[in-house]
Amino acid sequence: MFEVTLANIDFAYDYNVVLKDISMTITKGDFVAVVGPNGAGKSTMLKIMAGLIKPTKGQVSIGGKDMSIARVQGLIGYVPQNYGKNVLGFPATVTEIVSLGLTLSVSRARQNQQAAKHIVNHMLELVGAENLRDRRIGELSGGQQQRVMVAMALASNPELLLLDEPTSGIDYEASARIYDLLGTLNKNLGITVVMVSHDIDKAINSANKVACINKGLCFYGSSQEFNETHAQARHLWYYAG
Ligand SMILES: Nc1ncnc2c1ncn2[C@@H]1O[C@H](COP(=O)(O)OP(=O)(O)OP(=O)(O)O)[C@@H](O)[C@H]1O
Ligand SMILES: [Mg+2]
């Protein structure tokens, strides 16, 4: 059974410990909203889940496999924080950007131009960006760019989709469309989603689980439980850390 397991994770940048004793299990089909204040370690935790950095202590695995192996096999799609902004000046088309997702995968499509084209088109349709395929990434709006980033992360047919603040800086309607899209990918395709967000209410609406990080794990449980137990206090403790 596919499961993401974090067991007693610590992480330090040099000697600065930013994550302490994080343990959680994410089950196939979960949609986990990761919340917590600035500097709490959310992006660091996502990078660990993406297999990009290794914990200083503890284990992390997906379906019993090491994350770095799962990543190479294309099982993990990752949309980093501010990724759209980072590629703004990059003179590539939407099709080229989404194709980058294929190179992470060991899928046979890599050796087959026609199949690769088909997958890229299919991903753009999935995120509702098929009409943008020949546009340059830098000319798109923030919401359109995020959809393209999600398409890129999906191109390797991942089991696990990690998104770091996919709606930050995006207007109400465009972010609602991104939440809808993630909900559809999660429910209809069974993709497990872990999403960092500062918009607690919207994130909790889409998610079935909430992880609150502030160096340690201050809460991990169902969205319902989070709502019930933290309804009054959560904005206060969120900002108080
Ligand atoms: N590459 C790095 N080198 C050294 N320290 C880092 C590095 N990246 C992050 N940090 C530090 O680690 C801590 C956690 O950072 P992280 O980016 O994981 O927080 P975050 O919860 O994602 O915050 P935000 O909500 O602002 O995105 C911060 O104190 C940050 O300064
Ligand atoms: Mg962050």
With respect to residue 12, please indicate whether it lies within any of the assigned structural domains: yes
Domain count across the chain:
2
Same domain, 152 and 164: no
With respect to residue 180, please indicate whether it lies within any of the assigned structural domains: no
What's the gap in Å between 43 CA and the centre of ligand 1?
7
With respect to residue 221, please indicate whether it lies within any of the assigned structural domains: yes
With respect to residue 147, please indicate whether it lies within any of the assigned structural domains: yes
pTM for this model (two decimals) = 0.90
Neighbour count for residue 176 (Cβ, 10 Å): 14
The ligand that comes nearest to the alpha carbon of residue 198 is 1
Measured from the CB, is residue 215 less than 6 Å from ligand 1? no
pLDDT in tens, the chain (241 residues): 679 999 999 999 999 999 999 999 999 999 999 999 999 999 999 999 999 999 999 999 999 999 888 888 888 999 988 766 666 677 899 999 898 888 644 445 456 777 788 889 988 998 889 999 999 998 998 888 888 999 999 888 899 999 999 888 788 888 888 898 899 999 998 999 999 998 888 888 899 999 999 999 999 999 999 888 776 556 555 555 4
With respect to residue 175, please indicate whether it lies within any of the assigned structural domains: no
Stated as kind and residue range, the H or E segment containing 76 is strand 76-79
For 134, the domain range is 82-157
With respect to residue 179, please indicate whether it lies within any of the assigned structural domains: no
3-state SS string over 133-197? CCCEHHHCCHHHHHHHHHHHHHCCCCCEEEEECCCCCCCHHHHHHHHHHHHHHHHHHCCEEEEEC
Same domain, 163 and 232: yes
